[in-house]
Amino acid sequence: MKRLAVYCGSASPEDGRYVELARDVGAALAERGIGVVYGGGRLGMMGALASGALEAGGEVIGVIPEALTGGAAGDAKGGEVANHDCTELHVVANMHARKQAFTDLSDGFITLPGGVGTMDELWEAVSWAQLGYHSKPVGLLNAFGFYDGLLAFRDQMAGVGFVRPMHAGIIIDAANLDSLLEKMESYVPHRTIFEMKAEDL
């Protein structure tokens, strides 16, 4: 894995562990020679992730929608300001183009603790993997037990039958980055929906 898309938001939670986690993840990926592809902002967890990677000498590619780049005076539109310290900064038309770029530019995905936008990115990566639009590992960093409820819900969906058994393991989770990267490296792509016949669905 030469580059990983890291999903996180522009929020700065009151609990400082989350911003510190983002910075540590950026630095740790850079130290492993893994480039970071992320949302292109300089605020909150996004900014901490990018700073951690850049300070450790890593490659950071930002992808940000035009509407969120901020004005000439640096005023944020929609709560983000573009990070011009990135190795590369791609300004795209909209959120869909941003997520497509994440997929095109990376060899896998890591989701840090986050909110609605982060969830949107995670579930689209999972959906695209399930369908067969990509075969890259989708990692979930369950730091501080933040995603315990989400993982229980994933298991509930699978238990009821809304997620097929061969797709139940698409989300790769671990409580720390070392374990997560190890699991992602050994990921074996599953059988996709595009590969199935009608009677298998």
CATH number for the domain spanning 185: value is 3.40.50.450
Q: How far apart are CA 86 and CA 195, in angstroms?
A: 38
Give the model's pLDDT for residue 7: 98
- Give the count of alpha carbons within 13 A of 194, CB side only: 9
- The phi and psi torsions of 128 (rounded to 5 degrees) equal -65, -35
Mention every residue, 6+ apart, whose C-beta is less than 8 A from residue 27: 52, 53, 55, 56, 58
DSSP 8: -
Query: Per-residue confidence at 74, pLDDT binned at 50, 70, 90?
Result: very low
Q: How far apart are CA 35 and CA 54, in angstroms?
A: 10
Helices 95-105 and 116-131, packing angle to 10 deg: 60
What value does the mean pLDDT of the chain take? 93
Confirm if 69 and 93 have CB atoms less than 8 A apart.
no
Query: Per-residue confidence at 160, pLDDT binned at 50, 70, 90?
Result: very high
Query: Stretch 155-179: mean pLDDT, rounded?
Result: 96
- Give Cα 191 to chain centroid, integer Å: 22
Q: How far apart are CA 1 and CA 110, in angstroms?
A: 12
> Residues of the chain with pLDDT > 70: what percent?
93
Query: Per-residue confidence at 16, pLDDT binned at 50, 70, 90?
Result: very high
Q: What is the pTM of this model?
A: 0.92
Mention every residue, 6+ apart, whose C-beta is less than 8 A from residue 8: 22, 38, 39, 44, 45, 46, 49, 111, 112, 113, 114, 118
Give the model's pLDDT for residue 70: 65
Give the model's pLDDT for residue 81: 86
Number of domains in the chain: 1
Q: Which residues span the domain enclosing 96? A: 3-200
Please report where in the chains the tokens 């994933």 appear, as a residue: 154
57: left (phi over 0), alpha (psi -120 to 50) or beta: left
Q: Is the pLDDT of residue 112 over 70?
A: yes
Query: Per-residue confidence at 4, pLDDT binned at 50, 70, 90?
Result: very high
